Amino acid sequence: MTVTKNPLRDGWTIIVKRECATCVMVVPVIARLVRELPSLKVYTQDDPTFPDGVVSISDADLSASWHADIDTVPTLIFRANGVETARTVGWLRSEWRELTGIADLGAELPEFRPGCGSMSVDPDVIDKLRVRYGGEILHARQIDIASAEDEFEAMFSRGFTDGLPVVPPTPERVMRMLNGTSRAPQEVVAIAPPDLVELTVEKIAVNAVMAGCLPEYLPWVIAAIEAICTDEFNMHGVLATTMPVGPVIVCNGPGTRAIGMNSGVNVLGQGNRTNLTIGRAVQLIIRNVGGGRPGEVDRAAHGHPGKLSFCFAEDEANSPFTSLAVARGFDASQNTVTVFTGEGPRCVVDQLAREPEQLAQTLAACLRTVHHPKLPFAFDAMLILGPEHARVFAQAKWDRERVLQEINDRLHLPGTEIVRGAGGMAEGVQEAFKDATLPKFRPGGLLLVHAGGPAGLFSAIVGGWVNGSVGSDPVTKLVAT
C-alpha cells in the first residue's frame, strides 16, 4: 500500500474540478487570487487544463483531496505552520472575502452558490483511496491473481471456498466491509477453532466479502463468531463430530428488519441475501481462518445442506410469544444472535389440530424422534413454530412457557419403552433405567422460535447435538456496532 504525505503546504490552496458549475463560476475569482495571493496553489481533480488561464496542479490521483479531507469543491484552505487554520467550501462571497481580506472579491458573482461533491468522496473510488493512502489498515497477506487467471477459479484452486463461488476479497471490498463496524481491523474477536487462531476483525471482513455480505451485516457475523467460539458452544466439537450438525444462527431484535432478514415465507430456504450470507460467512471463517475443513477436522458422516449457511430471523412482529432472545434474558429492543448446534430441519404436519392439547401432542410425538425415539436427555432441539400453529396456542392464551411445559409434559419416556432391545431396537438406554421415567429433553433443552410463512399448518424441528458441558450449549450474544 502506498502511504503518501499530505502534499498541501503553508499558504493558500484551492481545490476544484471542471465538472462543477460553481467551480466554473469562480474562475475569475481564482484568477484574481492567483495574482494577489502569491502562495496560492490550485489543485484540479478532473481536467488539468482547468481553470483556464491559471497554472494548476493536477490532482488526478486525488491524493491532495484525500489528505485534505475535501468533500466539496471548490474548497479554499489556508494553512500556517503545517496546520490548517481556515477553510470555506462552495461559494459564499462573504466568507471568501473575510478569509482572503479582499473586500470586493467576486463583486460580479451572486452571494451564494453551493459547491459540488469532491471526486475523492465518490462512493466508487473512496475505498480505493483508503487502500492507497490510508496507511497500514489492512494486514492480511496480499495474493496476486495473474492477469490470465480467472479470479473465481483462483479462489477455488486455492481452497478458499465452500464449494460455491465466492466474491474475490480485494482490498477495496474489504475496506468497504470494514465500514460496517466501529471495531478496529486488528482487534482480536475470538480464538477460532480448530487451529486456535487469533481471529481479527479484518479476517472476518475478508471472509464476509467472500460470502457476499454487505457491510451492515458485519456486526451480526462478528456476534455469531463470538458466540460459536466460546467454550460453551464448543465449535471444535461441533466441527469434529461425525454427526450431521453445524451452527444454527437465530437473529433477534429490530436490526433484523433493518438489514432485510427473512423471518417469513421460506424462512429456512433460499432467496434472502442477508440470511444466507451471514450464515455462510460464519462457515467460511471456520473453514479458512480456523482451518476446519470437511474430511480434515470436520468428520461429519453426512453433514447437511445447512452447513453452507443456516441463519434466519425470528418473526417477532407477528409472534404471540416472547422471543427466544427475551426468553434468554435479553431485551426486545436489543439485537442479538443465538447459536444452536443443529441438524437440518424437518417438517411437522398437523392440519387438523384446533385445540392446543392436540397440537402439543403432535409436536411431542415428532420431537420424540429427534435422533432416535429411544434416546432421552442427551440432545436438545429447536422447535420453529409456524404462525398458523402458533395461532392455535395463542387462541387458547398459551404463552411460550405454557407451550414448552405442555410439550415437555408429554415427553416423559417410560424406561420399559426405551431400554436397549425394547421394540426390537438395539439402541436405547441401559437396563438400569428400566423402571425409571426419563425426560426427552433436559430442562431448557427445547428451544422455541416463531418463524415461517403465514399460510400452512406446519412447524419445523431442528435436532441438536450432545448437550451441556460434554457437548454444546446454546449461546446468545449482543450485536455491537
Partner 1 sequence: MTNRVILDPTSEKRNTSRDLLARPKTISGQTIGLLDISKARGDIFLNQLESRLTTAGAKVLRFRKPTFTKPAPVDLRHEIATKCTLVIEALAD
What does the binding site for partner 1 look like in residue numbers (CB under 8 A)? 138, 140-147, 151, 154-155, 160, 168-171, 174, 192, 195, 197, 202-203, 206-207, 210, 231, 234, 236-237, 240-242, 284, 288-291, 466, 469-472
Instruction: Give whichever of 240 and 394 is closer to partner 1, judged by the CB atom.
Output: 240
Instruction: Give the separation between CA 224 and CA 454, rounded to whole angstroms.
Output: 28
Instruction: Give whichever of 167 and 396 is closer to partner 1, judged by the CB atom.
Output: 167
**Residues ≥6 apart with Cβ < 8 Å to 303:** 244, 246, 294
Instruction: Give the separation between CA 324 and CA 340, rounded to whole angstroms.
Output: 12
Dump strand ranges (E) for 186-245.
Answer: 188-192, 197-200
Instruction: Give the separation between CA 335 and CA 257, rounded to whole angstroms.
Output: 10
Identify residue 101 by its one-letter amino acid code. Answer: G
CB of 424 to partner 1, least distance (A): 21
Instruction: Give whichever of 89 and 208 is closer to partner 1, judged by the CB atom.
Output: 208
Instruction: Give whichever of 79 and 307 is closer to partner 1, judged by the CB atom.
Output: 307
Angle formed by the axes of helices 218-228 and 273-285, nearest 10°:
40
CB of 472 to partner 1, least distance (A): 7
Q: What value, to the nearest 5°, has the Cα angle with vertex 45 and ends 41 and 46? A: 130
Residue 206 grid coordinates:
475478508
CB of 85 to partner 1, least distance (A): 39
- Which residue do the cell numbers 496560492 mark? 40
Instruction: Give whichever of 241 and 323 is closer to partner 1, judged by the CB atom.
Output: 241
Instruction: Give whichever of 176 and 389 is closer to partner 1, judged by the CB atom.
Output: 176
Backbone angles phi, psi at 313, to 5 degrees: -105, 150
Instruction: Give whichever of 287 and 400 is closer to partner 1, judged by the CB atom.
Output: 287
Contact 396, 320 (CB under 8 A): no
Instruction: Give whichever of 237 and 376 is closer to partner 1, judged by the CB atom.
Output: 237
Instruction: Give whichever of 150 and 409 is closer to partner 1, judged by the CB atom.
Output: 150
Contact 306, 342 (CB under 8 A): yes
Q: What value, to the nearest 5°, has the Cα angle with vertex 70 and ends 65 and 75? A: 100
3-state secondary structure 303-344: CCHHHCCCEEECCCCCCCCCCHHHHCCCCCCCCEEEEEEECC
Residue 372 grid coordinates:
432416535
Instruction: Give whichever of 83 and 470 is closer to partner 1, judged by the CB atom.
Output: 470
Backbone angles phi, psi at 319, to 5 degrees: -85, 135
Give residue 375's Cα distance to chain centre.
37
DSSP state of 352: S
CB of 476 to partner 1, least distance (A): 21
Instruction: Give whichever of 255 and 463 is closer to partner 1, judged by the CB atom.
Output: 463
Instruction: Give the separation between CA 227 and CA 224, rounded to whole angstroms.
Output: 5
Strands 475-478, 83-89: pairing is unpaired
Backbone angles phi, psi at 406, to 5 degrees: -65, -40
Rg (CA), the chain: 30
